[in-house]
Amino acid sequence: MLRISALCILILALARPRNVAVSKKTKTNRGIDIVMAIDVSASMLARDLKPNRLEALKKVATEFVNQKA
């Protein structure tokens, strides 16, 4: 019986039990995260948009970022 108790205590010690305090408060954030991927390859220098695709993209992206919800 003593050996079994010692074995149980050894197993419990090796398991390293811990008491971790968990906060019950939750953070509430409003809004969303948006990621913009912008192509900066040479094809963006094509002149099918005025003055070129990259400049047109910059204008549209700036307007999007500056608009109010």
Show contacts of 16-22: CB within 8 Å, 24+ apart. Answer: none
Q: pTM for the whole thing? A: 0.47
Hey, what are 64's tokens?
Answer: 């999007």
Q: Domain map of the chain by residue range? A: 38-69
Report the C-alpha gap between 50 and 56 in whole angstroms.
Answer: 7
Cβ atoms 64, 58 nearer than 8 A: no
pLDDT (tens, 9 = 90+) of the chain, 69 residues, equals 899 999 999 998 888 888 877 777 777 777 778 888 888 888 888 888 888 888 888 899 999 889 865
